[in-house]
Every structure is written in C-alpha cells, then in structure tokens.
Amino acid sequence: MTNFRLLVGMGGVPLHDNAEAYLWERRLHWVMVLVALLALPSFYLEAAYAQGALYWIGRVLDGFILAAFSIEFLWMLRLTRQRGLYVLHNWLNLLIIASAAFSLWNISTDWFPIARLVRLAYVSMVFARALGAMRQVLTPASVPFLLGWGVLVFALGGGAFYWLEPTVHSFGDGLWLAFVTGSTVGYGDVIPTTTGSRIIAVLIVLVGFAMLSLVTASFAAFFIGEDEKRLRQEMHQDIKELRQEMAKLRAEVARLADRVEK
C-alpha cells in the first residue's frame, strides 16, 4: 500500500521526519478531503453555466481549491526536513495546483477543447487525492459512515436529476436514476438527456462507484478482521493450554527429582 501511494503521488511525509510534520498531516487530513471534493460542484457549475452567478461560484470554488492546496503544500514543505523527498512523494499535489491555476486562466475559444480536457483531468486528480486520503476509513467501524455517505450522495443526485432532467417527473424517479447510474447498472428505463444531467451522471458514476467500492472493501475488512480475531483467540487458547501443560510437566519433573534424591 505504501509503494502504491508513492507511485500515485500521495506518499505524505517521508519516514523518520519531523514529528510536527506528522502532526499537521493528521490535522489537515480531513480538511483537504473536503476541499478536494469541492472540485465536483465547481466542475459542474462551470460546465453547465457559461455565465451568470452560478458560473462565478464555480470559479470562486476553483480559486479556493487552488489557494488551499498551495497553502497546504507550502506549509508541509516548511515543516518537513526532507523537502526534496516530500515533493517527490507528493507530486500529485503539484499537478493539482498547476491544473487548478490553468483552469482559472482565461483561455481563448481556440484552446477550449484542450482546456476542457485539462480541467477534466484536474477534477479526476483532485478526486483521486480525496479517495486516497479516505483510505483511513476502511475499517469495520466505518461501514455505517460509508453507507450514510452513500445514501446522502444518491439523495443529492436524485434531487439534481429531478431539477435538471425533463424526463424525470418525481424525486423518486431521480433517486432511481441516481442509483442505477452510480451502481453502473444502467437499466435504460430513464436516461439523462440534457447536458447538465449528463454531467451529473458522470459525477455520480465517479462518486457512486467509489463509495460502493469502499463499502465492499469495508465489509471485506470486517470479515477478514473477524477471521483474524478468531485465529488470535484460538492462538491465545493454544498458548494458555501449552503453558498449563508445561506447568504440569515441571511439577512432574520436580516430583521425579524428589524421588530420585530420596
């Protein structure tokens, strides 16, 4: 897992570094997860609205993400002793910062397709950073939290479909479309037809598939943890019985030694 995190640029503070750097890494963990998830609504607002207040809200979110990632990276770089190794281990942060700055730059219409591609890559990288940071929730106790988060995501997606998709005539239909989209089932009875609802569908696929994967992994961790717990209990019981047997053998050896001396 550590090698994989280094490969994808989410290695964190290097080993044997400053204790204060590890402390701040834990403090900023969930803050940066929330900041990273803001890339999803910002992408939707800027893609669905060419101008107006909602478009500029998306731009403001982009600016906030850029500022937050830049400040966090510079602050951690200040705290760590192995600065070169930290940059090497966290190269994904540099890509996110560069992509966020590029997406905020006013690009001419000739470069619009390339800008959209870079922006999609930027959102994907930020989302990957958020998922990587959420690796700590893969414990048996996290299953209720993940299920609640999944319900919230699908509920918001259902409301978005009800608002944006003309073929969805009720919140229930929107919720159904969000579920079959996020679970990648895709029955085809209801489909997104507008640009806005299709963008929502893409986001729900990314978020929904990731959340379902995390729930599945948490259930697997639960059953594996139960097996490991049972094996530990059996091992402790075997060790206890072995100690009792050794105590009996020692007592028997002591009795035999007394008889030999007499």
Cβ neighbours, 10 Å, residue 229: 10
Q: So what's the pLDDT on residue 76?
A: 93
Give CB contacts under 8 A, 24+ apart, made by 199-204.
199/43, 199/44, 199/47, 199/48, 200/44, 200/157, 200/160, 200/161, 200/164, 203/40, 203/43, 203/44, 203/157, 204/153, 204/154, 204/157, 204/178
pLDDT block averages, 10 residues each, the chain of length 262? 62 86 86 77 73 82 88 93 89 79 60 52 62 57 70 85 88 90 84 83 78 70 66 80 86 80 68
Query: Are 137 and 145 in contact, with CB atoms under 8 Å apart?
Result: yes
Q: Identify the H or E element spanning 159.
A: helix 143-164
Alpha-carbon span 146 to 248, nearest angstrom: 51
Query: DSSP labels for 54-122?
Result: HHHHHHHHHHHHHHHHHHHHHHHHHH-S-HHHHHHHTHHHHHHHHHHHHHHS---GGGHHHHHHHHHHH
Which contiguous run of DSSP H or E holds residue 193? none
**Do the Cβ atoms of 54 and 45 come closer than 8 Å?**
yes
d(CA 58, CA 54): 6
Cα-based angle 22, 28, 30 (whole degrees, multiple of 5): 120
Distance CA 123, CA 142 (A): 26
Q: What pLDDT score was predicted for residue 90?
A: 84
Position 154 scores a pLDDT of: 85
DSSP labels, 34-70: HHHHTHHHHHHHHHH-SSSHHHHHHHHHHHHHHHHHH
Cα–Cα–Cα angle for 117, 6, 86, rounded to 5 degrees: 95
